[in-house]
Chain A
Amino acid sequence: MNQGTQQSEASQGVARFFKPRFFKRGPWENFATLLIALGIFMLMQPFSIDLFGYSFAVILTGTVGFVIVSHFPE
């Protein structure tokens, strides 16, 4: 019984996740922009070579993410 309730809650959560409301373009675009900016800062900062090492992954994630989320509805 309890397991069944948990499953239905999980499926509701998934349904909520895929609701068009979640795929709003604005906030996701802002998040991707933030990632790109963070990645560029990591690429060019003079403080840590570790940050430099991960910078490309962050920029790439942000850029690919931006291309994807720019197709979300307004």
Chain B
Amino acid sequence: MTDQSSDSSAEGLTERVAKATPAAVVQKVRGLSDRAIAWLFISPTIFLLLAINIFPLIWTVYLSFTNYRANRPGRPIEWVGTRNYERLLGNEDIWGYLQATAHFVVWTMIIQVIIGLGLALLINRNFKGSSFWTTVILIPMMLSPAVVGTFWTYLYQPQTGIFSYIINLFVSVGPIDMIGSVDLAPWSIIIVDTWMWTPYIMLLCLAGLRSIPDYLYEAAEIDRANAWQKFWYITLPRIMPFLMLAVLFRGIENFKMFDMVVELTSGGPGSTTEVASINLKREAFEKWRTGYSSAFAVILFVTVFGLGNIYVKALNKVKQ
């Protein structure tokens, strides 16, 4: 009864609003083509994209050719041409930060692909409770990187952390300072990223595995192919585009990695784990070399954009 009355009142309201709309406006809207209406709806999004993404990008490219410093707004901006780029690309420290980034990206990719593929092959067997374990495995992926970074700092505590305790159960090496050690700090980030993002690789591999038709394996059985041959000649080629997609996506994400590293090591000890994005933030907002850091940002952007192009190409391959 109440629903009916609310429905009828809503209809009444609609009619009243329709009647109250000036005839000129009604005529105008009715006169719009489908294309014009489509533009009307997407124009706020386009405006926001231009204001939030495109304008800052163009402004950053402009600043990268200047000696602008954001902490000295009154100072005249001087056009320096490609000097910022030349200084960046001849700087051994920057080269070192990019190598630290490469170390992080390459090792996380290798470890995550091996473990992710292994987990996907296990989960694909559909054993009792496989759905439950899939959900459990996916949990780390759902957490915020900043939160993960913070609680792993507690797990990595040399005296009280559970990580050191578990390692000492197997090998008696005493307290392990993962974050404070120059040799171990890069691996502490790799371990956390692997813990968090292997489920993503597993999920994509699982999608690839589920898309392989059974008749291929049945034909292989008839041909007396062993398990390794089935994996090498059927499974791996079929899931390769999915694997490629996962690697590219995670590669791009890890190339830009910032929050987790800041929470875990803040780039230390020294600058051992100072990846490119952390150095960029330091140059821009601690040293206030805005022009120089803009050039660095452009270099990183073009790299990520290039990787993004390859990613889209791989994505199209998967669609096919």
If A43-B98, A44-B102, A63-B309 touch, whether A49 touches B303 (CB-CB below 8 Å) is no
Inter-chain CA distance A67–B302, complex, in Å, is 12
Q: Which residues of A contact B306 (CB under 8 A)?
A: 36, 39-40, 59, 62-63, 66
Are A33 and B313 neighbours in the complex by a CB distance under 8 Å? yes
Interface residues of B in 263-320 (CB under 8 A from A): 299, 302-303, 305-307, 309-310, 313
Q: Which residue in chain A gives the minimum CB-CB distance to B314?
A: A33
| Contacts A43-B98, A44-B98, A49-B95; A56 near B299 (Cβ below 8 A) | yes
Q: Is B99 an interface residue (CB 8 A)?
A: yes
Q: Which chain B residue lies CB-closest to A62?
A: B306
Stretch in B11-19, B85-93, B109-117, B127-135 touching the partner: B85-93
Whether A52 lies near B303 (C-beta < 8 A) is no
Q: Which of A50-72 contact B (CB under 8 A)?
A: 52-56, 59-60, 62-63, 66-67, 70
Main secondary structure of the interface of A (DSSP, over half): helix
- Give the residue of B89, B305, B309 whose beta carbon is less than 8 angstroms from that of A52: B89
Chain A 15-51 interface 0/1 with B at a Cβ cutoff of 8 Å (1 = within): 0000000000000010011001101100111100100
Does B164 belong to the interface (CB within 8 Å)? no
Interface residues of B in 42-96 (CB under 8 A from A): 85, 89-90, 92, 95
B194 lies within 8 A of chain A by Cβ = no
Size category of the B interface is 10 to 19
Q: Which residues of A contact B305 (CB under 8 A)?
A: 63
The docked-state distance in angstroms from the alpha carbon of A66 to that of B312 is: 11
Interface of B is mostly: helix
Residues of B within 8 A of A67 (CB): 309
B101 within 8 A of A: yes
Binary interface profile of B, 199-240, with partner A (CB < 8 Å = 1, else 0)? 000000000000000000000000000000000000000000
Nearest to B295 among chain A residues (CB) is A56
Chain B, residue nearest A40 (CB): B303
Chain A residues with Cβ below 8 Å from B89 are: 52-56
CB of A17, distance to nearest CB on chain B (Å): 25
Is A53 touching B90 in the complex (CB atoms < 8 A)? yes
Residue of A nearest to B310 (CB): A33
Closest residue of chain B to A51 (Cβ to Cβ) is B95
Are the CB atoms of B313 and A29 closer together than 8 Å? yes
In the bound complex, residues from chain B placing their C-beta under 8 Å from that of A55 are: 89
Please report A residues at the B interface, Cβ cutoff 8 Å: 29, 32-33, 36-37, 39-40, 43-46, 49, 52-56, 59-60, 62-63, 66-67, 70
**13 additional contacts, CB 8 Å, given A46-B99, A56-B299, A62-B306?**
A29-B313, A33-B310, A39-B303, A40-B303, A43-B303, A44-B98, A45-B99, A46-B102, A49-B92, A52-B89, A52-B98, A56-B89, A56-B302
Question: Chain B residues in contact with chain A, CB under 8 A?
Answer: 85, 89-90, 92, 95, 98-99, 101-102, 105, 299, 302-303, 305-307, 309-310, 313
Interface pairs (22), CB distance under 8 Å: A33-B309, A36-B307, A36-B310, A39-B306, A44-B99, A44-B101, A44-B105, A46-B99, A46-B102, A52-B89, A52-B95, A54-B89, A55-B89, A56-B85, A56-B89, A56-B302, A59-B302, A59-B303, A59-B306, A60-B302, A62-B306, A63-B309
